[in-house]
Structure 1
Amino acid sequence: MWTDGRYFLQAAHQMDNNWTLMKMGLKDTPTQEDWLVSVLPEGSKVGVDPFIIPADQWKRMSKALRSAGHDLVPIKENLIDTIWTDCPQRPCKPLITLDLSYTGVSWRDKIVALRSKMAERKVLWFVVTALDEVAWLFNLRGSDVEYNPVFFAYAVIGMNTIRLFIDGDRDEPSVREHLQLDSTLEPEFKIQVMPYGSILSELQAVGAGLSPKEKVWLSDKASYALTEAIPKAYRYLTPYTPICIAKAVKNASETEGMRRAHIKDAVALCELFNWLEKEVPKGTVTEIIAADKAEEFRSQQKDFVELSFATISSTGPNGAIIHYKPVPETNRTLSVNEIYLLDSGAQYKDGTTDVTRTMHFGTPSAYEKECFTYVLKGHIAVSAAIFPNGTKGHLLDSFARSALWDCGLDYLHGTGHGVGSFLNVHEGPCGISYKTFADEPLEAGMIVSDEPGYYEDGSFGIRIENVVLVIPAETKYNFKNRGSLTFEPLTLVPIQTKMIDVNLLTQKEVSETVGFHCLLCTRTSLFCSVYKNHWPLFHFIDPESNSELILNLIQL
């Protein structure tokens, strides 16, 4: 079993002795293809379902196996499906239509923009395989995949045709009206709705009808099966599609929607923190109860749809399991003696949230405060960074780790990921990571997370996460007229200041922390007054442990 640093502890706990854990990213861990080469008999064939492996991974694995005298071969029938007699049917739930107040751009205008990119690259056809790209392109959302507002579909866009491959009775009146299926449209905007399962045969027909020099554009993350449907000479493959990039750069309507969503999320979490402060000392709040309560407060907000991922509610040693999910067998009770880490988020109709806060309901130790403050310093270093246009996210990763590195600490996950607008909470092509993957440069309008952490196995976990918007930065000079960028925090949830050792912060870091709390007070206090007669933030801040910080906050 291969997995990365986010899951090392979890995998070790959940797998029995029949499994060997391969810790990806460590020096002595072989890749899957290297391991296969080391154990296979001479001239072996490795069978893979071509519908569930991306084309780029197939290419890499096939090359490695072939160089060692082996073959990677597609199998026609998935063997797991053959024996899985009670396999549930693929979900086919109703769709949600989004109007211009949420999307800012109509699906017709998105098709026009896509065709313009196709013309630039001299391709005749574009195949949309990523579910969030289909949803974004047509301004539709679904619920076929838990926590992700997407639906099972493909799309094939030609210069004069639009084909949407989708199953089930999903063309209810609102969807038909949204897609203008019953309207008299110009032929180039008339959508042909086709069965989901016909995508392979349709692509094969497209490939068979191509003339020399005509191309079909696919992502290299599309399945090998669909990629092979187009003859190699006619394929145009790229790591990121123009839809992926356009989706990542939010327009004015999307950014305003994300701001609204994060205000609502802040209200819900401040209500939660207020409740936890009162209930945890009673010894009756478990990880599961806290997670359920967070969902309850969020569900009271306008346009709440669902959670954006399974809530990570972890106290004490469970906090060191980076992607921990509480279950009855592991469910711990929150106490005044342990650190509590809550990583949670929601899907609202106007935006997607993802926030992590680490807190203590008693008195944190000096070491816990020290570790928390190093993480906070890294969080601030990223959020306050000013960097040139064209900078890729991986160049900012060391900003988040520097304070931890200075004292010999680190964390085994990336620092940030792209966030969708009422779409997947993890999206490409941007990110902040130690891995120099082929991420696109950060652009104004992109939204990413800023989430450094530190994890002490068997003791505690610390993570501080905000979602931030890339915006233009004003600088004294402008080298080569290239311009600069910085971040605006969208997350407006308070940071528990009793966890901070102020003596470890610079004056600039204190100012940044004060400024962040002033911003969230300004943007959310009016909304909180609807629910309470007091602002829960100040109940959540311990003035005795950080008098200088609170004094500055009150003065401002």
Structure 2
Amino acid sequence: MTFAEKLQALRQLMFAQQVDAYIITAADPHISEYLPEHYKAIPFACGFTGSAGTLVITQDFAGLWTDSRYFTQAEAQLIGTGYELVKLKVPHTPEYISWLSKVLPGGAKVGFNHKLITVALAQEMQYSLVQCAIEITDVDLISTVWLDRVGLPVENAFLIDEKAAGLSISAKISQLRAALNINKADYHFISSLDDIAWLFNLRGKDVAYNPVTLSFALITPTAVKLFIDKQKLSRTDVHTLNQQGVTLYPYEEVANELKNLPEDIQIFIDPKRTCFGLFECLPKSAKIIFGINPSTHLKSLKNDTEISHIRKAMLHDGVALTRFFKWMEEHLGREEITEWSAAEKLVAFRAEQASFAGLSFNTIAGYNANGALPHYSVTAESNQEIVGNGLFLVDSGGQYLYGTTDITRVMPIGNCSAIQSDDYTLVLKGLIEGSKLIFPEGTKGYQIDSICRKPLWEHAINFGHGTGHGIGFFLNVHEGPQNISPANVDVAFKTGMVTSIEPGIYRPGKHGVRIENLVLCVPKNNSEFGEFLTFETLTLCFIDTTIINKTLLAPDQIAWLNQYNQTVFKKLQPMLTEEEAKWLEMKCQPV
């Protein structure tokens, strides 16, 4: 079936079931960012492959709501599908709700799969649409049309050793129970896969790039229940879980278990990480306590063991990146190198590292105009040869035993223009300002965000994505609760948080610049004014200085850059060959 034929089939089902508008979300029952193939309904329905978007279908309109990161990509992928791009004015907001309230008459019915939408979003729709006398209903139409849909993943899962995790499963459960007690909750339901992975020292391969396995968890006053396909685990791991006080249940039994909970419970639920369909299974008289999963806060504070492993992962990643950029420099012009082949070569260098466990996300390798797409994904049609003059942006990351990396570098190719040099330098200034920041305890991400953007704002330049996100420990490359963005997220930075800093400049059709390091929040000093924190840069890869416009850098910024590159050389040199070390030493020469 073509995309247009699929759309027509969905409309016929809508007419038959008296559904006036049908919503398709980019989600699974765990509200994951990265989805198993089974749940990739939006690419199936319209061909759009971006990670953020919502389809809304009526009998006379079909639209994809997405944000500025994907405007160019969506416009190209939606041609001939019957869907139109609707540009979000505010990223990550459900602006289609107000649109539906305006175009649908009273008495209309809006349908969506309740297991593929968050509690928070479903309640927002209930509040907004019911006021307009519009009904919402639980309906799954996509499964009827999606005849060749793949099944749920069945990859094996495994436990990481307590010595690698730094805490036992029982110790983490004790921490979680203490947090629940503070929140006056006796039950807790967890859907989010990375929270479950952290709590049970559990890893898997059910979702590309994220080492997680499909599962749910229910904490009661007397039991810890893990809903998972038991066949995925070894007998040894099952025994370990049992020894740590965890009882295993079939994955499919979670809904019935929730329906049979006592009526008078006080249960803690994360409304943004729990699907509405399972939330509806809870007893109607239960007292619901909403908030961010306590495990989300706990896992964001990396313990000493995790930090030690993360530093090792950065060393391995730094070696792979050094070899990649050396290879690029030596082979450009001598053989054809494309965005695709360069990305594949980088994977190969990472795979040489003994602790490599896979990529942490799909590599973004964009030359010139393609680099101006923040979430660019190379395809056979878009693949460019890296030749001539310009900027090659590489945003990539690896999963290591045990640690997760995420880094962006820009490699100048041939002769670069003055504007490319200025853009590169301004982005670097933003990175440096954030990296060397000293800030009081209690500082939030939106405060740090403005400091990173200031060098760009002074030149009337801005970018449409956040400046930083949390990073997991051999887990998801994007995790919370902290971030660095303009959004008013009420989460303070604390010692032990690992976060990216990644400002950028994007000139559509021309070039893009983004430079990204991962940083660890550490104590700085105490004074009569309180506790102060700062960042320790974890990422180990030289920052190219050949196209810097030094007139735009202050002396302290130059000093930071020189010190950083010297640290990179010092730490990586023992792991490199003599030839590689000499090459890196030249790249790390002071400005």
SS of aligned partner of 1:358: strand
Find out whether 1:449 has 2:500 as its counterpart: yes
**Aligned to 1:110, what secondary structure does the other structure show?**
helix
- The counterpart of 1:462, out of the listed 513, 534, 543, is 513
Task: After superposition, give the CA deviation of every residue in 1:251-286 in whole Å (9 maximum; x if it has no partner).
Answer: 001111111111110100000000000111225000
Question: Is 1:93 paired with 2:145?
Answer: no
Going from structure 1 to structure 2, the CA distance change for 1:31 and 1:201 (only over 3 Å counts) comes to same
| Pick aligned residue for 1:474 from 525, 533, 536 | 525
Give the superposition deviation at 1:168. 5.1
TM-superposed CA distance for 1:93, in Å, is 0.8
Alignment of 1:345-364 (within 5 A): 345-364=397-416
Give the drift of 1:363: 2.1
When residues 439 and 351 of structure 1 are mapped into structure 2, their CA distance, relative to the original with a 3 A threshold, is farther
Cα distance in 2 for partners of 1:287, 1:430 equals 32
**What SS is found at the alignment partner of 2:333?**
helix
Is the 1:283–1:335 Cα contact (8 Å) retained in structure 2? no
Q: What whole-Å deviation, never above 9, does each CA across 1:378-420 have from its counterpart, x for those lacking one?
A: 1111111111111111111111211111111111111001100
The 3-state SS of whatever aligns with 2:115 is coil
Distance 1:444 1:202, change over 3 A: same
Distance 1:286 1:116 in 2: 53
Whole-angstrom CA distance in 1 between matches of 2:86 and 2:532:
41
- Structure 2 distance, partners of 1:257, 1:11, is 39
2:102 maps to 38
Name stretches of at least 5 consecutive residues in structure 2 with no aligned partner. 1-63
CA gap 1:533/1:71 in 2 versus in 1, 3 angstroms? closer
**Alignment match, 1:282:** 334
Q: CA offsets, 1:26-71, max 9 Å, x none? A: 59x9811011112112221111111000000111111111122212
Q: Distance in 2 between matches of 1:174 and 1:196?
A: 19
| Correspondence for 2:375 | 323
3-state SS of 2:456 partner: helix
Output the TM-score relative to the length of structure 1. Answer: 0.91
Asked whether 1:410 is paired with 2:462, we answer: yes
1:126-165 aligned within 5 A: 126-165=188-227
Of 253, 257, 273 in structure 1, the residue corresponding to residue 325 of structure 2 is 273
Query: What is the one-letter code of the residue matched to 2:327?
Result: W
Q: Distance in 2 between matches of 1:237 and 1:259?
A: 37
Match of 1:553 in 2: none
Q: Could you tell me whether the CA contact under 8 Å between 1:274 and 1:540 is conserved in 2?
A: no
d(CA) in 2 for partners of 1:151 and 1:367?
46
1:390–1:442 Cα contact (<8 Å) kept: yes
- Measure, in 2, the Cα distance between the counterparts of 1:110 and 1:103: 10
Conserved in 2, the CA contact under 8 Å of 1:218 and 1:235? no
Counterpart in the other structure of 1:308 = 360
Distance in structure 1 (CA, Å) of the matches to 2:583 and 2:143: 51
Q: Which residue of 1 aligns with 2:71?
A: 8
Please say if 1:534 is aligned against 2:581: yes
Deviates more, 1:520-529 or 1:135-144: 520-529
- Does the aligned pair in 2 maintain the 1:220–1:237 contact within 8 Å? no
Corresponding position: 1:199 with 2:251: no
Aligned counterparts, 1:349-498, within 5 A: 349-436=401-488, 438-474=489-525, 477-479=527-529, 481=530, 483-498=531-546
Distance across 2 between alignment mates of 1:425 and 1:456: 26
How far off its partner does 1:105 sit? 0.3
How far did residue 19 of structure 1 move?
Answer: 2.5
* Number of positions where the alignment pairs a residue of Structure 1 with one of Structure 2: 525
C-alpha distance in structure 2 between counterparts of 1:30 and 1:97, whole Å? 37
- Alignment partners' CA distance in 2, 1:264 and 1:499: 27
Give the 3-state SS of the residue equivalent to 2:226 in structure 1. strand
For 2:155 and 2:236, the matched residues in 1 are separated by 14
What is the DSSP-based 3-state SS (H/G/I as helix, E as strand, rest coil) of the residue aligned with 1:412? coil
1:377 CA drift (Å): 0.6
Letter in 2 for 1:9: T
Aligned with residue 548 of structure 2, among 487, 500, 503: 500
Is 1:295 matched with 2:347?
yes
Q: Distance in 2 between matches of 1:6 and 1:96?
A: 35
Amino acid at match of 1:471: V
Establish whether residue 518 from structure 1 lines up as the match of residue 566 from structure 2: yes
The 10-residue stretch of structure 1 (250-259 or 7-16) with the greater mean CA deviation from structure 2: 7-16
Unaligned runs of 5+ in 1: 544-548, 551-556
1:219-298 alignment, distance < 5 Å: 219-221=270-272, 222-298=274-350
The answer to whether the Cα contact below 8 Å between 2:569 and 2:585 also exists between their aligned partners in 1 is no
Contact 1:271 1:536 in 2 (8 A): no
Number of the residue aligned with 1:210: 263
Q: Contact (CA 8 Å) 1:444, 1:472: kept in 2 or not?
A: yes
The sequence identity of aligned pairs, in percent, is 36
What is the aligned partner in structure 1 of residue 112 from structure 2? Answer: 48
**1:24 and 2:88 are equivalent in the alignment:** yes
* Cα shift at 1:11: 1.4
Deviations 1:399-444 (A, max 9, x none): 12111111111111110011000000000101001122x3421111
Partners of 2:87 and 2:583 lie apart in 1 by: 42
Provide the TM-score with structure 2 as the length reference.
0.86
Q: Residues of 2 paired with 1:210 and 1:66: CA distance? A: 27
Q: Which amino acid aligns with 1:210?
A: E
Residues 231-240 or 444-453, more deviating? 231-240
